[in-house]
Amino acid sequence: MIKLQDIEKVYQSDNGTIHALRGVNLSVKQGEIFGIIGTSGAGKSTLVRCINMLESPTKGIVTVDGQELTSLNEQELREQRKKIGMIFQHFNLLSSRTVYQNIAFPLELAKRSKEEIDKEVLHLLELVGLSDKKDQYPAQLSGGQKQRVGIARALANHPKVLLCDEATSALDPQTTKSILELLKDINRKFQLTIVLITHEMQVIKEICNQVAVIEGGKIIEQGKVIDIFTQPQSNTTKEFISSIINHNLPDFFKEITLASEPSADSNLILRLSFIGHSTEEPVISSMIRRFAIDASILYGNIDHIQTIPFGTLIVELSGEQASLQQALSYLKTRELGIEVIGYVARNARAVG
Ligand SMILES: Nc1ncnc2c1ncn2[C@@H]1O[C@H](COP(=O)(O)OP(=O)(O)OP(=O)(O)O)[C@@H](O)[C@H]1O
């Protein structure tokens, strides 16, 4: 549905040249909720604004719904933009218009009849749960209600894509949840493709199928949310994830020396991640039964990414070195993530 090829964006400002995007390639499938996460200044807003050409890329090709936007003139672009709705962090509502009139605005611009507009607006008000607020002005609404108006307005022209520019960043956690639920609902009902940018991993975890991490104008990591959460590669991604999932080692590891290679009398410390059905498999107990080893659990956590459960265990295995290596080989045949954290001297910690 959306394809970005080698997108570059250079701003010329009084302070010199700013290279905001440096060769971005992205592909978003129809019906996906695609999240782009990055810290302040990473290039998120520039990137999302390149998708509907509010910013025109200095270089590269933007294609939406099979149409190359980067080759269109202004008038053709205006037509194509009707396929792309957008919502904003600060809602961007017209303060002198009522809720009804705000939602009607894009339909008036599209020269739709009064009857059509009325039917459409009433339907959208119901969809976003604001039928009773139609004659109020934005100043009389809460942040969450304002964003609901923003969503209804963005959907007025039946877009195929909805772009969300930090749409929940100005909202409290409870309101954020309800807006994300509404976006999920709309995605399901209309098979609408959603691209959202955020600096909060919680938002990605709650609704996205796919995620891309942007840093210094480049995509440094991308993939399925479940894969990125369970096997983050870059330090930036690890940091984002650690804000909601503790990937750090427990404190007592700071006091012991970990070796990267085994010695005759060392214990093996592993981090195991279980995803989906593998959380139900009794891997640890069958490993202990098969090999002459002991296992003690140093840390355990279970979480969900939307409906998929995933768990993390840090375990210390003790026994003969040959048995430990056999157990490790056995674990590698199971459906789980394995990270060898290191080896500790057998007496460094008492294994129970
Ligand atoms: N219109 C502009 N003129 C000049 N520089 C700009 C302009 N817009 C953005 N930039 C610069 O481009 C870089 C990327 O900015 P952008 O707003 O895309 O990042 P961001 O990840 O969305 O950050 P934030 O979360 O703080 O909004 C920054 O260095 C920013 O200062």
Q: How large is the average pLDDT for residues 305-332?
A: 89
CA 295 – ligand 1 centroid, Å: 50
Of 31-35, 183-187, 231-235, 328-332, minimum mean pLDDT range: 231-235
**pLDDT value of residue 275:** 80
**pLDDT value of residue 247:** 62
SS3 content of the chain, % helix, strand, coil (to 5): 40, 30, 30
Report all structural domains of the chain as residue ranges with CATH numbers, in order of start: 2-243 (3.40.50.300), 251-345 (3.30.70.260)
Query: In the chain, how long is the greatest CA-to-CA distance?
Result: 83
What are the pLDDT digits (tens) for 101-154?
999 999 999 999 999 999 999 999 999 999 999 999 999 999 999 999 999 999
Alpha-carbon distance of 317 to 349, in angstroms, equals: 11
Assess whether pLDDT exceeds 90 at residue 311. no
Handedness of CA 212, 215, 218, 221 (dihedral sign): negative
CB 295 within 8 Å of CB 316: yes
E strands of 191-307, at which residues? 193-198, 210-215, 218-224, 266-275, 293-305
CA 40 – ligand 1 centroid, Å: 8
Name 67's Cβ contacts closer than 8 Å, sequence gap at least 6. 80
333 lines ligand 1 (CB under 6 A): no
**pLDDT value of residue 17:** 94
ipTM (interface predicted TM): 0.96
What are the pLDDT digits (tens) for 1-25?
999 999 999 999 888 999 999 999 9
Closest atom of ligand 1 to 13 CA is 4
The model carries a pTM of 0.84
250 lines ligand 1 (CB under 6 A): no
CA 82 – ligand 1 centroid, Å: 25
CA 60 – ligand 1 centroid, Å: 18
- Identify the residue whose C-alpha is closest to ligand 1 atom 1: 11
**pLDDT value of residue 328:** 93
Alpha-carbon distance of 280 to 270, in angstroms, equals: 19
Q: How large is the average pLDDT for residues 70-84?
A: 93
- Identify the residue whose C-alpha is closest to ligand 1 atom 14: 43
3-class secondary-structure state, position 269? strand
Confidence of residue 352 (pLDDT cuts 50, 70, 90): very low
**pLDDT value of residue 349:** 58
Assess whether pLDDT exceeds 50 at residue 351. no
38 lines ligand 1 (CB under 6 A): yes
